[in-house]
Amino acid sequence: MAKPRSIQPYGNSLQVLMDDGSTFLMLPSGGSLWLVASETEATAPPPEPGSEGLSWPFPLSVVTDDYRIPSRPKHDGMDFSGGPAVDGAPIACAGNGVVWRVYDQTAQVGNCVVVDHGTIFGANFKTLYAHMKHYPPVKVGDPVIKGQTLGVVGNTGLSYGAHLHFEVWLNGSGGRAEKVNPRLYVS
């Protein structure tokens, strides 16, 4: 994983130059915008902002409980368990962004990470990854990329068996965000 080489003001944002030549802006909103993904891609045209969207942390084949199913109307996310989502399996970040919150063994979500993906398709998106086995290896403010390991599957917090509880938050922050059906926004 690349490390920051320099950080300097860029308008009302911060420009971060990584030691692999990639460059991104940390926006006042807490989001980020990649300018150059890597040195080898520097000559390629930049992607449309947010065009990469969000990807599943695990295949849908291992979903064990869906969003707000009739038997669990207050279940605001999707559960992934078994197969590639077995106890200790690395959890892949759904999209580029910045670590927004890290929770340490709270009663509900256990070891947990929330990533702010900034603006995608005109709205702010965050994703939550709960019940991790260990304290997450990322910290608040860390830039993260799609596919990066945010932690490993575990059974901490209010959980009965190792699984990933995954949520998608649309607009707003914390309790004000709307927890939406991930199937509508993740591909």
For residue 66, the minimal CB distance to Zn ion (Å) is 9
Question: Is the Cα dihedral 36, 37, 38, 40 positive or negative?
Answer: negative
Tell me the closest approach of the beta carbon of residue 130 to Zn ion, in angstroms. Answer: 7
Q: Considering Cα of 75, then 29, then 51, then 85, what sign does the dihedral take? A: negative
State how far Cα 119 lies from the chain centre: 13
Tokens of 85: 């989502």
Nearest Cα to 132, choosing from 166, 100, 98, 168? 166
Rule CB under 5 A: say whether 165 interacts with Zn ion.
yes
Which residue of the chain is nearest Zn ion when measured via CB? 165
Could you give the CA distance from residue 152 to residue 134 in angstroms, rounded to a whole number? 7
Smallest distance from Zn ion to CB 87, Å: 15
Closer to Zn ion at the Cβ: 10 or 185? 185
Please, which residue, 126 or 165, has the CB nearer to Zn ion? Answer: 165
Q: Is residue 131 within the footprint of Zn ion (CB under 5 A)?
A: no
Scanning 66-74, 113-121, 160-168, 172-180 for contacts with Zn ion by CB under 5 A, the matching segment is 160-168
**Minimum CB separation from Zn ion for residue 75, in Å?**
6
Contact region with Zn ion (CB under 5 A), list: 70-78, 113-121, 136-144, 151-159: 70-78
CB of 149 vs Zn ion, minimal distance in Å: 20
Asked if 153 and 113 count as a contact pair (C-beta separation under 8 A), the reply is no
Measured between alpha carbons, how far apart are the two ends of the chain, in Å? 25
Interaction between residue 142 and Zn ion (CB under 5 A): no
User: How far is it, in rounded angstroms, from Cα 136 to Cα 99?
Assistant: 11
Site for Zn ion in 72-101 (CB under 5 A): 77, 79
Question: Which spans of this chain sit near Zn ion (rule: CB under 5 A)?
Answer: 77, 79, 165
